[in-house]
Amino acid sequence: MSAIKKFAGQTAIYGISTVVTRFLNFILTPVYVGLYPPKVYGIFSVMYSWASMFNAILAFGMETTYFRYLSKYENDKQKVYNNTFFTVCLISLLFLLFTVLFVDDIAAWMQAGAADDSDYSRYVKYFIYILVIDALAVIPFAKVRADGKPIRYSLIKFANILTFIGLNLLFIFVLPVAIKSGWPGVEFISGWYREGWVGYVFLSNLIASMLTLILLIPELLQLTLSYDRKMFREMLVYSLPVLIANISFIINENIDKVFLGQLLPPGVSEQEVGIYAACCKIAVFLSLFINAFRLGAEPFFFSHSKNTNSGETYARIMNFFVIAVCLIFVLLVANIEILKYFIKGKNTAEQALYWSGLKIVPVLLFGYVSLGIYINLSIWYKLSDQTRFGLYISGIGALLTILLNVIYIPQYGYVASAWISLSAYTSMMILSYLWGQKHYPIPYNLKKNLAYILASVCIVFVAFVVFDRNLLIGNALFIIFTLMILYVERKEIKAIFETK
């Protein structure tokens, strides 16, 4: 139990930083939807969807590989660090050299028949630089986590998001006031400032990413020029399936927004993407916890893998993880009538458009429940060096996502995308459990976990559909669900707090 307590402590730090930073980022959503109509909001939703996919390619699965090889080569940690970083660095530089030559072509393809936007090439160029800088920060960030420094990790993330938000507010609100009020230097500002330009969002991101890399200089200075070719070949064998699995996962997460933009008629597509992306922002509250869990879990699971009771520890962690995601699932749906004001448009018509998508929020949230459980389950193929199964599972999920979106988006729009996302994640979760129990069995309490999941789904249905999102009834059901769980788990909870 002491191992779980240690894991919970580190995850709590990652969790607090993740929740705070993402919440700070989330408060920009009402700013964006109030400033930009759904069509314009859809532009950077699509851009960030593409960026997520290329982030996975540039990282090349080396983050997971780094943690795995630290546990395999405990006496050669410096070589592991060098190998993983310089691999990502080489891939990123090749990507930079190739893409900057075709910026205009990429921009023309991404607009795909929509009204031509002369600024699109600049947007693409900003994102190329953001992607490369973020990729160079992946392994140094992994080192911070592996060294057991969650507070340093959190502080750097805080600096990143505060810079991003501060620059957004500067460009959106402060500079227009400065120009209208005639502040000192207004002549210089007026010469280049464009009010309402969406490119300032991307420029703010680029500056924040540059600051992050600067703050990681202490980790970068620990690199040496030594490079182990034999280890590099081993790492490629391990990381290539992880890379493909990560790409498949990102496809599941983001390709629906791309397909909405490509498969629906021009003029309609941007609006549909904007509504869908805005509603996804509500569901992101659950993904915050999942991401915080991943940050703490990956280094912990690898470092704990050689312990004799590791399987029991992983099973207990899964039990509490399922409880947490189910409680968050119910809590968010119970309070959706409050959360919807984060995506309030600047006028009644736009507000009605954004809120018309609220019906998909419970579906998206349950998809994140399945995704979180899959991430927890996926540790079996990483620990056993059977990463090809991650490729198979994510590949099946990606194939389902692509085929079903192509078939159903033209008829059902973003509603189809939400249900397809849920179907893909649930399929991945089931496959990972079945194959994992066959190749690397972990004694999960399947009956109890399923009971919590089904109970949360039933409560959400009652709160959202039967009682039509009533705040009082929804929160009353959440409190009853919480008390029930506390009673059932009282012995486990007591045991954790009593351990030293």
pLDDT at 198: 77
pLDDT at 1: 47
Q: Which of 309-313, 335-339, 465-469 has the lowest mean pLDDT?
A: 309-313
Q: Is the per-residue pLDDT at 45 higher than 80?
A: no
Q: Is the per-residue pLDDT at 294 higher than 80?
A: no
Higher pLDDT, 48 or 85: 85
- Pinpoint the alpha helices (H) of 60-195: 62-72, 77-99, 103-111, 120-146, 150-169, 175-181, 186-192
Mean pLDDT of the chain: 84
Q: pLDDT digits over 120-175, tens only?
A: 888 889 989 999 999 999 999 999 988 888 889 889 988 998 898 899 888 888 88
Pick the closest to residue 33 from 221, 254, 201, 237 (CA basis). 201
Task: Give residue 66's domain range.
Answer: 2-498
Q: How many domains does the chain have?
A: 1
The mean per-residue pLDDT over the stretch 399-412 comes to 90
Length, in residues, of the chain: 500
Higher pLDDT, 254 or 330: 330
Q: Dmax over Cα atoms in the chain, in whole Å?
A: 71
Q: How confident is the model at residue 114 (pLDDT cuts 50, 70, 90)?
A: low
Q: Which of 31-35, 59-63, 153-157, 197-201 has the lowest mean pLDDT?
A: 31-35
What does the alpha-carbon distance between residue 311 and residue 440 come to, in Å, rounded to a whole number?
9
pLDDT at 157: 87
Q: Is the per-residue pLDDT at 304 higher than 80?
A: no
Report the percent of the chain where pLDDT is more than 90: 35
Q: What is the pTM of this model?
A: 0.73
Q: Is the per-residue pLDDT at 442 higher than 60?
A: yes
pLDDT at 248: 73
The mean per-residue pLDDT over the stretch 84-110 comes to 89
The mean per-residue pLDDT over the stretch 271-280 comes to 82
What are the tokens at 65? 């590989």
Q: How confident is the model at residue 3 (pLDDT cuts 50, 70, 90)?
A: low
The mean per-residue pLDDT over the stretch 462-472 comes to 93
Q: Is the per-residue pLDDT at 106 higher than 90?
A: no
Q: Is the per-residue pLDDT at 113 higher than 60?
A: no
Q: pLDDT digits over 199-243, tens only?
A: 888 899 899 999 999 999 999 999 998 888 888 888 888 888 888
pLDDT at 34: 67
Q: Which of 12-16, 181-185, 218-222 has the lowest mean pLDDT?
A: 12-16
